[in-house]
């Protein structure tokens, strides 16, 4: 008899235009993403143990290209030519994430305060639908944690921002070339 049962799912996605799917997310956004492409090479493993809680292990690479976002003014807020995220085996159920490498090429950020003193980029952080009155949001910024949320861990081994100015990452459409596994 086995002590565990495992199900393995290998995902290999190339050139997915994620702008077509953002409207299906269960989060309201106060910004638009006119351009974003996704490549994935990920292995997801579900492990059911006989005598302990199940695990959902994820490892692999994710690459995004030609990402741009903007707010109500339709002026670019953030963007990059491409980014990669490589993860070592991480247990999603235990909220234990191990990122081996994060690379963002040609990042651009336009941060500004509005008339109320609120940073425009704060709308990129999802807010809770119901606010706790003791930690409710002020000026449109996200609520502060109550400390009652379950914990988790994130470890990052490497972060890089290589600069090669061959043009702005913010023009609409197009797919970057030279992703790390191409």
**Domain-located, residue 163:** no
Quick check: 71 pLDDT over 80?
Answer: no
Q: Which residue range is the domain that position 62 belongs to?
A: 4-131
**Is 0.85 topped by the overall pTM?**
no
pLDDT at residue 48, as a whole number: 92
**Domain-located, residue 60:** yes
Q: How far apart are CA 79 and CA 65, in angstroms?
A: 9
Q: How far apart are CA 90 and CA 52, in angstroms?
A: 17
**Domain-located, residue 34:** yes
CA dihedral sign, ordered 154, 38, 167, 177:
positive
Quick check: 7 pLDDT over 80?
Answer: yes
**Domain-located, residue 176:** no
**Domain-located, residue 165:** no
Structure confidence by residue, pLDDT tens digits, 19-35? 988 888 887 777 888 88
pLDDT at residue 70, as a whole number: 82
Structure confidence by residue, pLDDT tens digits, 124-157? 666 555 544 444 444 444 433 334 445 677 777 7
Mean pLDDT of the chain: 75
**Domain-located, residue 159:** no
Q: Which one-letter DSSP state was computed for residue 37?
A: E
**Domain-located, residue 9:** yes
Structural domains counted in the chain: 1
Cα angle: 161, vertex 163, 165; to 5 degrees? 145
Structure confidence by residue, pLDDT tens digits, 30-61? 788 888 999 999 999 999 998 988 999 999 99
**Domain-located, residue 119:** yes
């Amino acid at each position: 008899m086995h002590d565990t049962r495992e199900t393995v799912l290998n995902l290999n996605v190339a050139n997915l235009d994620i702008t077509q799917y953002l409207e299906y997310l269960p989060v309201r956004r106060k910004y638009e993403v006119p351009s974003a492409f996704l490549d994935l090479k990920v292995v997801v493993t579900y492990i059911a143990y006989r005598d302990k809680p199940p695990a959902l292990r994820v490892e692999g690479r994710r690459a995004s290209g030609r990402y741009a976002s903007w707010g109500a003014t339709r002026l670019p807020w953030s963007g990059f030519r491409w980014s990669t995220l490589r993860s070592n085996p991480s247990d999603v159920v235990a909220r234990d994430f191990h990122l081996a490498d994060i690379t963002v090429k040609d990042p651009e950020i336009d941060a500004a305060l509005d008339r109320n003193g609120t940073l425009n980029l704060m709308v990129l952080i999802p807010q809770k639908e119901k606010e706790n009155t003791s930690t409710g949001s002020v000026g449109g910024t996200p609520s502060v944690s109550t400390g009652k949320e379950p914990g988790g861990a994130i470890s990052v081994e490497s972060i890089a921002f290589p600069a090669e100015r061959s043009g702005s990452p913010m023009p609409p459409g197009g797919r970057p070339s030279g992703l790390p596994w191409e």
